[in-house]
Amino acid sequence: MHLRTLPLASAAALLAISAAGAAAQQNAMTAADSAVPLPVPGRSVVTTRYGIVASSQPLAAAVGAHVLERGGNAVDAAIATNAVVGVMEPTGNGLGGDMFALVYEARTGRVYGLNASGWAASGMTPQMLASKGVTALPERGVWTVTVPGVVAGWDAMRQRFGTKPFSELLAPAIWYADHGFPVAEVTAGLWARSQAFLAGQPNAAHTYLIDGRTPRAGQVFRNPDLAGSLRRVAQHGRAGLYEGPTADAIVRIVHEQGGTMTEADLAEFRAEWVEPISTTYRGWRVYEIPPNGQGIAALSMLNLMERFPLAQYGFHSARALHVMMEAKKLAYADMLRYVGDPRFGPVPVAQMLDKERAARRAALIDPARAACSVEPMEIDGITNAKGNETIYMTVIDREGNIVSLIQSNYSGFGSGLVPAGAGFMLQNRGALFTLRPGQPNTLAPRKRPLHTIIPAFMEKDGTRIGFGIMGGWNQAQAHAQFVADVADFGMSIQQALEAGRFTKGTFEGCDVEIEETVPAATRAALTAMGHQLTVRTRRTPNFGYGQAVMSDSAGVHFGASDPRHDGQAVPETPPVFAPAAAPASPAPVRHP
């Protein structure tokens, strides 16, 4: 691979932009936009010819790296890492949540999609809720609980691509749940935001508080109940959660709160292999999970952004950011109107990703003025059609297989319902349904809600990147910004994760949150265009936390981790240093 075909092809290109390239970019900018140099990353890209695990929890990433060292592949490492992150970062994920994954298989060059998002319980209808006086779904509580999808997702991935048994893959998570771990700094801050919420739920307080308080940074936290739930999965596979004692505990607490979930709702749920959706952007092929997720909005944004010469405008120029912000509104308006569970009605994916339609849509963007009101595009035959915690992680193994995986409870911790003795909270993903009749995302039994969490993958000329940035409705717009940073501005994956971002919760209005790292001159120009900016400090969850791995055509692998969180990209140790055998699973350790 040559620099003339792909600027990310060498370590030098990954770590710095050339002086000539910087000068050319500055010359292309107009007087209205001050030149903004590309960010100097605060961290170096991790580089190796072996595997890398990038996670928001360094201890979990180290577990995944050890799985690779013991002969596991990217899927094995992803399952083991995700299980440990569920123990260490319960603010955003765990056995009670959902999961999506993109799996790149190096041998075939194919990208597979996995939808492990759970469905609503039997009996959950707008009419049933109306009979109980519920006319709008609350943020939390029993009406928001959907079937947890993550264990079904692990099972599907392991059955298709894995090489290790659950007993080996879950042993580290069981060990940490039993023996404890020091809580990481950012994680402790996120945990503390939920202290009052957790204290108001007896099972949650028992599980997640220490002497009535959330754990502080560096304090050792243990969850022996979760160790027990993980042991049942290690021994019985997916049946360890969807049948038997754990399933009984889930159904029991839902019924105690007046809900309708049945044993069959759990036992009959399966994850679904899906064909990823994709578009091209500046020669890159970018992949997302298809609906019921919001990934289509990221691709729609890119199709709109492609109509404008962002590289000529310059990184963090007002013109480039203005185009992205306007594209975000148009793409999200369409996504929120048309996307729901495709098993319950058609989602016009082909029309929404059509390049000619994108060109007409892009023509609505005024290059000088923000639009505070946009409308969804009209698609014949389709009926009209709502800050959250999540984790994202990604793995590359020595063969170049990549797993891009995202997992979530939805809101911090989830619904508030912790099944007795289970050690995890049930998600509140059902809060994303609408109760308005006739919409793509209207609540129905065994229907999956419009989903916010999305993993991503991109490739060009032998270079492949698994990436994701979490955070509710922030995700699709953050994905598009990451892709532009790489494709338009030639950034390394570490630079692209560290670059300042903007975020906007809805497609309505001109309000936008923007990071303080975006220059004041640019912010002033955006304000003059009509954008109503709220400047946020860098280490807030509003802009999401990301991870990325990359391979090039020479077989060199790269890893990056977002400094906004506690995470790290951890490389696999070469085989000569690998331990001979995995440690035995420890005996249970009880709370003192």
Comparing C-alpha atoms, which of 14, 495, 484 is closest to residue 281? 484
Average pLDDT over residues 258-269: 97
Q: How far is it, in rounded angstroms, from Cα 503 to Cα 329?
A: 11
Is 217:185 a contact under the CB 8 Å cutoff? yes
Tell me the HSE value of 370 on the side-chain side, using a 13 A CA sphere. Answer: 24
Look at residues 48, 63, 113, 42 and name the one whose alpha carbon lies nearest to residue 549.
Answer: 48
Cβ-proximal residues to 162 (8 Å cutoff; 6+ apart), any chain: 72, 73, 75, 76, 79, 169
Domains of the chain, first to last: 1-131+273-411+432-574 (3.60.20.40)
Mean pLDDT score across all residues of the chain: 90
Beta strands in 257-297, from DSSP E residues, in sequence order: 272-274, 277-281, 284-288
Q: Which two tokens stand for residue 339?
A: 């996307």
Range 427-441 average pLDDT? 94
Q: Provide the 3-class DSSP secondary structure of residue 205.
A: helix
* Catalytic residue flag (residue 390): yes
Residue-by-residue DSSP string for 407-469: EEEESSS-SS---TTT-SPPP-GGGG-B-STT-TTB--TTPPPPB----EEEEETTEEEEEEE
Per-residue pLDDT reduced to its tens digit, 445-467: 999 999 999 999 999 999 999 99
Closest CA to 411 of 449, 455, 452, 440: 452
- Partner residues linked to 456 by β-bridges: 288, 467
Based on C-alpha coordinates, what's the Rg of the chain?
23
Q: How confident is the model at residue 39 (pLDDT cuts 50, 70, 90)?
A: confident
Q: Are 403 and 75 in contact (CB under 8 A)?
A: yes
Q: Assign residue 409 a region: left if phi > 0, alpha if psi is -120 to 50, beta otherwise?
A: alpha
Q: Point out which residues pair with 16 in neighbouring strands.
A: none
The per-residue pLDDT for range 273-290, each reduced to its tens digit, is 999 999 999 999 999 999
pLDDT, mean of residues 26-30: 39
Q: Determine if residue 187 is left, alpha or beta; phi over 0 gives left, psi from -120 to 50 gives alpha, anything else beta.
A: alpha
Mean pLDDT to the nearest integer, 174-198: 96
Instruction: Give the number of residues written for the chain.
Output: 592
Picking from 296-305, 369-378, 574-583, which range would have the lowest pLDDT averaged per residue? 574-583
C-alpha closest to that of 69 among 84, 80, 58: 80
Query: Other CB atoms closer than 10 Å to residue 374's CB: what's the count?
Result: 20
pLDDT greater than 50 at residue 153: yes
Mean pLDDT of 79-96: 97
- Per DSSP, the three-state class of 250 is helix
CB 466 within 8 A of CB 457: yes
- Is the Cβ–Cβ distance between 174 and 231 less than 8 Å? yes
CA distance to 209, 359, 389, 519, 537, per residue, from 542 (Å): 25, 30, 10, 18, 10
CA atoms within 13 A on the CB side of 516: 5
pLDDT(28) > 70: no
**Comparison of pLDDT for 424 and 544, the residue scoring more:** 424
Write down the catalytic residue from 91, 260, 390, 394: 390
For 21, phi then psi, to 5°, come to -65, -40
3-class secondary-structure state, position 578: coil
385 sits in which H/E element = none
- pLDDT digits 0-9 by tens, 371-385: 999 988 765 443 433
Residue 122: pLDDT above 90? yes
pLDDT at 472: 84
> Residue 192: is it exposed, middle or buried by C-beta count within 10 angstroms (0-12/13-18/19+)?
middle
| 497-553 confidence digits (pLDDT tens) | 999 999 998 788 999 999 999 999 999 999 999 999 999 987 788 899 999 999 999
Q: What is the pLDDT of residue 379?
A: 56
Distance between alpha carbon 391 and the CA centroid of its chain, in Å?
Answer: 6
DSSP class of 542: G
pLDDT of residue 352: 95
Structural contact between residues 282 and 488, judged by C-beta atoms closer than 8 angstroms? yes
Residue 250: pLDDT over 60: yes
Residue type present at position 314 = G
Backbone CA torsion sign across 345, 383, 432, 124: negative
Overall average pLDDT of the 130-145 stretch: 95
Region 175-183 average pLDDT: 98
Residue spans of alpha helices (H) in 18-140: 19-27, 58-69, 74-88, 126-131
Handedness of CA 513, 442, 95, 158 (dihedral sign): negative
